[in-house]
Chains A and B, each alone.
Chain A
């Protein structure tokens, strides 16, 4: 039990140190008293006895020190003493302390929050059971146009039947699935994003509903009763979180569904916005789910324990290849399979931006550290006399260094503490702003993040402390004492160190500025790029006519016509059109076609284009120019509608020099006559225009679409009256995505604007820090050289000459940093390539602007101290001596 006793004693010496020290005093006092008593007994006088006792005892203070040393924890005692001292020193220069703490807290706060996001979203495994065995499966075609294509139901069926590599496979519908959820008890109907999935999806992911049960195999059949599982959010919001929802009936697209379960609140798959799940084989028509060439589903598999992803993909590829060979006449059947780990599939597209942001915050932190080091060097310069005296009096180098590090540690710890709080706030803001990002619900501060922040605090302290203490330990005591007895210029070594620190700081700032400039310019390009239609004062909204009520094409056409007629009659509406999907709102699907007048295509070759539907006035309403021919004949409808309008790039790609007008496209089993050619539009703002063919909306095949309304002034007040018109036509019909074109573009460029804004903020912060650094260094140099400048002026130096001298002194490190930064920026901008749109990584305008901006800011920062130097009164300067 020796160790227990030792531990007990050690604890005593920590927590009851004062008491133990008092006891030691008592002990020694007792000893001395005994000795004095003995001495008196021997016949000495009281005074003599005391001196003799002291002599035989030795120096009590020294011996007490020695004894205390044996207690251990001496380092802690020293540390606490240094800490107290550091706090006092910092409190003497509050401005410095506050600036330093602020700078560090910004750096550590930004870095910690970005690290939290990166760790939670990219690095943490998915919250599913054994997530490393989950992979997302794709089809892949030989010519490499679609290396990661979504899967067709027919191919999935074959995989499921033949593959041995997976313990299970699930099929999930893609992004566009929506249901109209009817209101009950006075609620308005609403559209909800949903996902159809095979019954085993939740089992594969290893997730159980929080309430109720999961789908069973029996639910996932065309003949089964309709069932649905709700997301936690939908259940809380729409059904008040009432557990009685289980086995109740809700109406989706005006059909009855029994709610069988509610998923846990953290669960979001396949999309962040998914609010409802239904069984896919019950929902989809047999035709869609068995087609081999209708690529529209997500496939997920759980690998068998002994199978690798490569083996599994090879096996699936073989199956697809066989299907391809059996259906050589169908060019849309893929010929291989592809895969990706599920995590990568879910977060792959936000990886680069997040790492770029993390790197930017890292730069800011580094700049912050350099700035602190710089300020410390300046301060240690003003304290060098004190330090030299202390060294001369026997303060050890190690001790002085320790004290110095304690000071930076204190700064870093206080700044870091504030930084962690800042990070917490930033994370809350980030989560609130980026609800669209996948896995956003996984973002939490945890132990690793705290450890990371502590590590940063420690590193910052060490970095700033070590860099700045180079100059402390390089001093020679004697020369310091001599040198600082007169205020001549400081040793060149220290100034050189500060200039180098500044150059690095400026270089990092330039890198950040270049990054920000490129992202900003690319965002502007993105916003300025032409969708191909009018975007100003255009309002759009989507609706879907449920099959249950609108089974006949004529019913739908009547609805479309009624809607357009009433909307166009609304005061303030300049034009209105109806289409499958407006430009900029997404891909929405394509289809193959043949040109009747062309020779048949070689076997296995295909031509395809995006398919859209439009009413005759759609093009005019959206300002899509009709280049040639005319729009649809409004009188041709339903079976008689056999016209088609193609886009400019369609005509160019598939007709070349030929005149497309009057030719016929074979599609949907009959020939459509090309009556017009319209301008190109983009399906997404960041994607180049692709060939589009427009079919008449009045053929009645579409069950829904987008209404686009243009006004000659602010269009948003029209949203309500238009929704009221829809309500009047059908009280149970819900509209969704009520957005102006500008809002829609804003939504799809959110990523770009978010990245650009953040990096710009970091760059401005760094620029400010660098400017402060430059200003500080030059002011310091001027102060140091006051006498010299005074002498120069007294001897007849021109003031302009002095100004130039001092300016060049300050601008030299800035220019060095600028050159380094431009080179560094050119290298790092290559990593930004994926995030740039319409801007080359070496865009000369951005680099030129950054150069001018930096030189301007640096000159401003240097001008004041330099001007002050040139205004020096030589008499005053020399009298200071």
Chain B
């Protein structure tokens, strides 16, 4: 099982930003979504999301709002700010450059 520290910190940030880029989500939903989309490959230890979420919030890349869920419970929903969107674009670009480069290296040797 992959542990949270197997995920490079910047990568977790990228995953979070990407996950909430479409619509606001609360922490549990973000964890679920990452697991689902990655086909259960990325097993984020759920709790380690929270330090990351709060760090991103302090950087004002994401903002949070307490809202009711469909089931009528109060939850903290995170969404992207304008600065966060710019950050997401930049990190996504960095990531694709990096992964493309790694692919290239792995495949040619």
Interface residues of A (CB under 8 A from B): 2, 5-6, 9-10, 13, 23-24, 26-28, 30-31, 33-35, 56-60, 63-64, 66-67, 69-72
Contact = CB atoms under 8 A, between A and B. Distances in A.
B50 A28 contact: yes
Interface in B2-26: 4, 26
Contact of A30 (B28, B46, B47): B28
For chain A, what secondary structure do more than half of its interface residues adopt (helix, strand, loop), or is it mixed?
Answer: helix
A30 B51 contact: no
B38 interface: no
B55 interface: yes
A58 B51 CA distance: 12
B33 interface: no
Given A26-B74, A30-B76, A56-B45, A67 B50 contact: yes
A63 B55 CA distance: 13
Contact of A6 (B51, B60, B66, B74): B60
B58 interface: yes
B59 interface: yes
B8 to A, nearest CB: 17
Interface in B37-59: 45-48, 50-51, 54-55, 57-59
Contact of B47 (A10, A13, A57): A57
Contacts of A6: 58-60
Contacts of A2: 60, 81, 83
Contact of B28 (A9, A34, A69, A70): A34
Nearest to B26: A30
A10 B60 CA distance: 11
Given A31-B31, A57-B47, 14 more contacts: A2-B83, A6-B59, A24-B54, A26-B74, A27-B27, A30-B73, A35-B46, A56-B46, A64-B50, A67-B50, A70-B51, A70-B55, A70-B58, A71-B58
Interface string B65-86: 0100000011110000101000
B59 to A, nearest CB: 7
Max count, chain A CB within 10 A of own CB: residue among B28, B58, B83: B28
A23 B57 CA distance: 14
Contacts of B51: 63, 66-67, 69-70
A626 to B, nearest CB: 96
Interface residues of B, number: 25
Given A63-B50, A70-B51, A31 B27 contact: yes
Contacts of B74: 26, 30
Nearest to B71: A37
Given A26-B74, A30-B74, A30-B76, A71 B47 contact: no
Contacts, number: 74
Contact of A63 (B47, B60, B76, B81): B47
A65 to B, nearest CB: 9
Max count, chain A CB within 10 A of own CB: residue among B50, B66, B74, B75: B50
A26 B27 CA distance: 12
A58 B49 CA distance: 11
A490 B31 CA distance: 58
B58 to A, nearest CB: 6
Contacts of A28: 47, 50
B48 A58 contact: yes
B60 A27 contact: no
Contacts of B60: 2, 5-6, 9
Nearest to A3: B60
Nearest to A65: B51
A23 B76 contact: yes
Contacts of B66: 23
A71 B54 contact: yes
A74 to B, nearest CB: 12
A56 to B, nearest CB: 5
Contacts of B31: 31
A265 to B, nearest CB: 55
A2 B56 CA distance: 12
A26 B66 CA distance: 11
Nearest to A62: B47
Max count, chain A CB within 10 A of own CB: residue among B58, B59, B66: B58
A59 B58 contact: no
6 contacts: A24-B50, A28-B50, A30-B27, A58-B46, A59-B47, A63-B50
A63 to B, nearest CB: 4
B105 to A, nearest CB: 34
A72 B57 CA distance: 12
A72 B81 CA distance: 21
B45 A58 contact: yes
The 10 closest A-B CB pairs, nearest first, are A58-B47, A70-B55, A63-B47, A66-B51, A34-B28, A5-B60, A57-B47, A70-B54, A31-B28, A67-B51
Contacts of A71: 54, 58
B17 to A, nearest CB: 15
A710 B4 CA distance: 102
Nearest to A10: B58
Nearest to B73: A30
A20 to B, nearest CB: 9
B81 to A, nearest CB: 8
Max count, chain B CB within 10 A of own CB: residue among A35, A66, A72: A66
A35 B58 contact: no
Contacts of A31: 26-28, 31, 46
Nearest to A30: B75
Given A31-B27, A66-B51, A9 B46 contact: no
Contacts of A67: 50-51, 54
Max count, chain A CB within 10 A of own CB: residue among B46, B48, B74: B46
B53 to A, nearest CB: 8
A66 B49 CA distance: 11
Contacts of A64: 50
A6 B60 CA distance: 6
Nearest to A56: B46
Max count, chain B CB within 10 A of own CB: residue among A2, A34, A35: A34
A27 B76 contact: yes
Nearest to A5: B60
Max count, chain A CB within 10 A of own CB: residue among B4, B59, B60, B81: B60
